[in-house]
Amino acid sequence: MKTKLKSLAIELTNNCNFKCSFCWANKSPRPKGFMSKELFDKIITEAQKLGVTNICLNFAGESTIHPEFEWFCNRVKGISKSINIITNGSNLIKVGKTLIDNNINMTISINGMGNNYEKFCGYPYQNTKNNVSYLLNLRKSKVPTVKIYHHIWQGETQEDIDKYIIEWSNKADGLYFTPSIDNMEWKHGVESFTFVKQRLCRFPFYYMAILWDGSISPCCRDIGAELAFGNVNKNTMAEIFSGDVYNKFREMSNAHKFEDDMLCSRCKLWEYIPTTIKI
């Protein structure tokens, strides 16, 4: 497989204003913090030189609560072909115009409805509905895109999903479902899901996550930063991505042989990828 850094996740913060019971980011022992403007500027400058085509402005945490969020959005505008964010939607009234003005595609994570949503997330469901309505009314065209995303949690039935579809279909540019995750395995799906088998995990060949403190991970699910592949405060992204640690990891991925204490040795997420349901 060809090796080229195409996709970059930048963790503006690993803090979150929600306390979702099913979210493993809340259970991470990693220190909490906020990325500095200086570090972000360094990352964006290099990403532009490397020709990164996809930038996501979050990893763990809720990026919109960063005190400098508007500055980050203004700085990243026009840098990459696709700029995206996944958000819980709680701050859309505050930051919606900034996201629209800077053409940042939004995926709004809404996991459940009504009392179930409030039980799992600790936030008023009606507020979320109001926030999304405000954003969609503010947007004058289909650019940037706004999608609704739902991780199906344990105990949710097909009937629950059908009600959710009625509630949210035609509210945005797309409605998506995916199984939730427990212990690095896909869990809690419904009968509509199918799974596609892969030969290897593709992320080490094109992807990099940069955490709020500059640490590097090659994995989109390494919320706890168990895979420490360097730090952009010490080396460039290009040096890390083409360095010995990343290359050794690619060899292990190709051979399906990981060290026993590595996150990847217990991960089943890459092997069978769920076909995300789109409504």
Q: Which of 108, 109, 59, 102 is nearest to 80 (CA)?
A: 102
SS (H, E, C) 163-180: HHHHHHCCCCCEEEEEEE
In the three-class reduction of DSSP (H, G, I as helix; E, B as strand; rest coil), residue 204 is classed as helix
pLDDT at 246 over 90: yes
Least confidently predicted of 67-81, 123-137, 261-275: 261-275
pLDDT at 9 over 80: yes
Spatial distance between the Cα atoms of 153 and 247, rounded to a whole number of angstroms: 36
pLDDT at 101 over 80: yes
pTM: 0.93
Model pLDDT for residues 201-217, shown as the tens digit of each residue: 889 999 999 999 999 99
pLDDT at 140 over 80: yes
Question: Running DSSP on this structure, what letter comes out for residue 9?
Answer: E
Q: Which of 22, 33, 4 is nearest to 180 (CA)?
A: 22
Rounded mean pLDDT of the chain? 90
Please give the biggest Cα pair distance in the chain.
52
The gap from C-alpha 47 to its chain's centroid, in whole angstroms, comes to: 18
**What are the structure tokens assigned to 105, written together?**
């595609």
**What are the structure tokens assigned to 41, written together?**
């500027």
**What are the structure tokens assigned to 254, written together?**
């190709």
Model pLDDT for residues 142-157, shown as the tens digit of each residue: 889 999 999 887 778 8
Spatial distance between the Cα atoms of 237 and 231, rounded to a whole number of angstroms: 8
Q: What percent of the chain has pLDDT over 70?
A: 96
Least confidently predicted of 77-81, 120-124, 193-197: 193-197
More confidently predicted of 62 and 190? 62
pLDDT at 254 over 80: yes
Q: How buried is residue 159: exposed, middle or buried, by Cβ count under 10 Å (0-12/13-18/19+)? A: exposed
